[in-house]
Structure 1
Amino acid sequence: MDRVNAFGDDALGDLDAVGLVDELRRGAVSASELVEAAIARTEKANPALNGLTFEAYERARTRARLHRPYGGFFDGVPSFVKDNVAVAGMPAMNGTDAWEPVPAAHDGDFASAYLATGLVPVGRTRMSEFGFSAAAEHPRLGAVRNPWHTDHTAGASSSGSGAFVAAGVVPIAHANDGGGSIRIPASCNGLVGLKPSRGRLPLDKDMRQMPLRIVANGVVTRSVRDTAAFYREMEKVVANPKLPPVGDVTGPGVQRLRIAVCTQSILHEASPEVSELTLKTAALLEQLGHRITVIDNPVPQRFMDDFLLYWSFLAFALVRGGRRTFGPSFDRGRLDNLSLGLEQHAARNLHRLPTAIARLARMRRVTSRLQSTYDVVLTPTLADVPPRVGHLDPTAPYEQIIARLIEWVAFTPLQNATGEPAISLPLGQSQSGLPVGMMFAAGVGEEARLLELAFELEQAQPWRRIQD
């Protein structure tokens, strides 16, 4: 097994982000030392993982030398931003090479809030083209590989962020999720990945303009406390008064929950190995005193067709409007077969789009009925273990790619349509030693409940660490 472990005896050690904050505050390390360690680890890990798309080393060094220019709880902790949000001075290529890079003139709404927490980006992380695939395997830019076993995918679209955090390059990195793109790499790489409620964190203008806002920003981390601290600190910067506050979640909750367990996706049962791991997680929850009920999947089959059509419409808008959006150097001939195939699917079915969007917007009715009986729903994050690089090759025929995507990514899109929160926790391990995520979903605004449950499960069954 070809494992990539960037952990070492340097300023970062094997601490999570909260642990590094403690070290910074007591003067045991400096921000400059942390940034230098992160740069060295990036240089060590990236040749094998291919997770870096833009380096901002000098910017990070300068930022670390300044005396608390932003403040914020995480001030001085190195991080990465994904390749699809606006950060001043950095180009955003959205996982492709279809136009000439142009640095952003200003921070977008998300980056403004993210940087205000004090996190120091040392670069941008690679993603699948426009985030459409669940694996980043660009025909010219190469594949992002899983640090647990580099023959396998790191998941997507937040591929580089997931690979780098798992390998120990940094403790926390930006990710965002339009169909599972926080939770999928969290599952593949053995991380904590919370997709928050719609509106919890700011979106840049291009993502706000979607007819249905399926995208949510967030992070991937190695510990529940890092994820909880991130949402607490972001709430200090930009809180949504329409949502219940997340607050300062620091440990397990007291309330015993009614938890529904489902191993069936909308289309089929998860693989036998993943189904068994899900039921083992359910048994652990029962041992902890929660009330467990196994249910059939209540989501109608047409949901997947509707979501695919909306996904395709986003590709249609990007491909047809490429020159207007990305400049005159945009060349659709450099796009992969998945992007082009989705665009063609949308072109053939545009007459069905208004009905599909309306049905997706009504999916909350289905989950609201479920939430009247259950507090949390447990499913696998993905229907099978992380596949080998090449399984989702974007140069393959579109029909092959999309069939394999729908089969694997069968559980995560629901919460993007409903706007509800869901968290992937690394509670499973495949027979081959790869991480397998378990996903917990709750009602809109109930991130605190999910974090409390995550703390409890982390304490009851600590997950494996790559450095062990």
Structure 2
Amino acid sequence: MSPRVHVFGDDALGDLDAVGVAEAVRGGTVSATEVVEAAIARAGAVDPFLDALVVTDYERARAAAAAPPEGLLAGVPGLVKDNTDVAGLPTRHGSLAVPATPVVADAPFTRQLKATGTVVVAKSTLPEFGFNATTEFEHLPPTRNPWDPEFSCGASSGGSAALVAAGVVPIGHANDGGGSIRIPAAACGLVGLKPTRGRLAPDDHAASMPVDIVCNGVVTRSVRDTAAFLAAAERHRPAPGLPHVGHVQGPSSRRLRVGVIVESLTGPPDAETAQAVQDTAALLEDLGHEVVDIPLPVAPQFKDAFAHYWSLLAFSTQRFGARIFHPEFDASATDPLTQFLAGRFLRNAWRTPGAVYQLRRSEHLYRERFAEAGIDVALSPVLGHTTPRLGHIAPTVPFPEMFERLLRYVSYTPLHNACGAPGLSLPLATTQDGLPLGVHFSAFHGDERTLLELAYELEAARPFARIQD
């Protein structure tokens, strides 16, 4: 096992989480300028080892820190993933096909993030257009996992996860179209909440999608950071049509009925992943919750439908990139995964109406099967197996072998993107290699409060491993 890579130390950030930093800034123990300077120094020290930064915004971050905005997280340094606009910086979506042209305005989610008080210091890496589950590239160095740089950091929010886990900042923007918050959270030992569809400011292109599968959010090192972010974001933009979450600050006394799902549509998980789920189920029983086995709340056709939709998105990127991303988009510069998926769609375009129907139907089936089982929360693996080494699902692996590996790995999370329900990865286990191993919780639409309350209880009962220990 390679040495861990982190930059926790005796500076203004110390080993504080986001809430701790905000409290220190409010209390005058440190200034926002001091913590932003610490984050800048940490980024410079660690990124040569992780390759997780795309472009920095240090001067604007310093200016923002000099007069930080109001908010629960006022003065806390953070990141924006490089598929979301930050005024004055380019948005390249992890692709050499998109020119490095600065954009003129913040995206809606960037405005929401800044409204929490978070100071954006840089943009973080993602695989091309977020299509992969590892942050690896055809022509660029991979983003590495700080727990062991020979392993994947997950994706598509891999850069944010690597930098938060390594201690550069306590909070990083992530978004999730098939697991892209929860997968890197699981790989890097973080809390990763994919909110209910519509909970946070949407992706710029969400309204034009046949099925809106992308949700914004963050990755953090503590449950209270995720809860504080959600509360602060909700104050800026209450979610239309969803119940108010509020600021969840601890566990509930309510005991839950938890449904356990082990097998996915691609088969059973590997032994370590299955054991992590069973150990978590035993912990829940010890805490007084009722635990029952339930079937996967999805139709058998879902796997093929989601794979086809994935391919449709890649085809749309290839064909309409100049309209969607930049007038000078170069389709010939996209990576092998994007091109393979686009070609896969063309060979099967006739399947599109049926695939869209199955994805839209998944919300009804999810609600129906939750209600039939009488459960409050479902427990499952995040992924089909433990975090792979770099190269296992790199875009340079020959197709279709690479895509089959990818489907095997990402076998649980896409359901919640299609049906719109909230999903949460918690770092409650560790592999034999000493890497974090996440487990997944999901709930009814709009019920992030129950997920966060349960997460507080589990974090207290089984404290998360820390990279610096």
TM-score class, shorter-chain normalisation, is: over 0.9
Cα deviations by residue, 1:364-385 (Å, 9 ceiling, x for unpaired):
2221122211111100111111
Shift of 1:142: 1.5
User: What is the alpha-carbon distance in structure 2 between the residues aligned to residue 220 and residue 120 of structure 1?
Assistant: 15
Tell me how large the CA RMSD over aligned residues is: 1.1
Cα deviations by residue, 1:400-432 (Å, 9 ceiling, x for unpaired):
121011000100000000000010000010011
User: What is the alpha-carbon distance in structure 1 between the residues aligned to residue 327 and residue 359 of structure 2?
Assistant: 34
User: What is the alpha-carbon distance in structure 1 between the residues aligned to residue 13 and residue 291 of structure 2?
Assistant: 40
User: What is the alpha-carbon distance in structure 2 between the residues aligned to residue 264 and residue 307 of structure 1?
Assistant: 18
Shift of 1:147: 0.5
- Residues 1:127 and 2:126 are matched in the alignment: yes
Q: Give the match for residue 108 of structure 2.
A: 109
Structure 2 counterpart of 1:184, which letter? I
User: What is the alpha-carbon distance in structure 1 between the residues aligned to residue 27 and residue 117 of structure 2?
Assistant: 17
Shift of 1:74: 1.3
Confirm or deny: 8 A CA contact 1:86 1:204 kept in the other structure: no
SS at match of 1:427: strand
Q: Superposed, which structure 2 residues align to 1:432-443 within 5 Å?
A: 432-443=433-444
Shift of 1:109: 1.2
- Residues 1:263 and 2:262 are matched in the alignment: yes
SS at match of 2:219: strand
User: What is the alpha-carbon distance in structure 1 between the residues aligned to residue 258 and residue 178 of structure 2?
Assistant: 23
User: What is the alpha-carbon distance in structure 2 between the residues aligned to residue 192 and residue 37 of structure 1?
Assistant: 23
User: What is the alpha-carbon distance in structure 1 between the residues aligned to residue 256 and residue 368 of structure 2?
Assistant: 17
Mean CA deviation greater in 196-205 or 153-162? 196-205
User: What is the alpha-carbon distance in structure 2 between the residues aligned to residue 205 and residue 293 of structure 1?
Assistant: 40
Q: Give the match for residue 28 of structure 2.
A: 27
- Residues 1:355 and 2:354 are matched in the alignment: yes
Confirm or deny: 8 A CA contact 1:267 1:301 kept in the other structure: no
Cα deviations by residue, 1:96-120 (Å, 9 ceiling, x for unpaired):
1113211111111111111111101
SS at match of 1:123: strand
Structure 2 counterpart of 1:12, which letter? L
Structure 1 pair 382/204, CA: closer, same or farther in 2 (3 Å)? Answer: closer
Shift of 1:333: 2.1
Q: Give the match for residue 229 of structure 1.
A: 228
Structure 1 residue ranges without an equivalent (≥5)? none
Q: Superposed, which structure 2 residues align to 1:381-392 within 5 Å?
A: 381-392=382-393
Q: Give the match for residue 370 of structure 1.
A: 369
TM-score w.r.t. structure 2 length?
0.98
Q: Superposed, which structure 2 residues align to 1:282-431 within 5 Å?
A: 282-372=281-371, 373-431=374-432
Structure 2 residue ranges without an equivalent (≥5)? none
Shift of 1:85: 0.9
User: What is the alpha-carbon distance in structure 2 between the residues aligned to residue 75 and residue 335 of structure 1?
Assistant: 38
Structure 2 counterpart of 1:85, which letter? T
User: What is the alpha-carbon distance in structure 1 between the residues aligned to residue 60 and residue 139 of structure 2?
Assistant: 27
Shift of 1:40: 0.8
Q: Superposed, which structure 2 residues align to 1:161-180 within 5 Å?
A: 161-180=160-179
Q: Give the match for residue 38 of structure 1.
A: 39
User: What is the alpha-carbon distance in structure 1 between the residues aligned to residue 173 and residue 376 of structure 2?
Assistant: 28
SS at match of 2:172: strand
Shift of 1:156: 0.1
Percent identity reads: 49
Confirm or deny: 8 A CA contact 1:2 1:151 kept in the other structure: no
Q: Give the match for residue 249 of structure 1.
A: 248
TM-score w.r.t. structure 1 length?
0.98
User: What is the alpha-carbon distance in structure 2 between the residues aligned to residue 377 and residue 328 of structure 1?
Assistant: 44
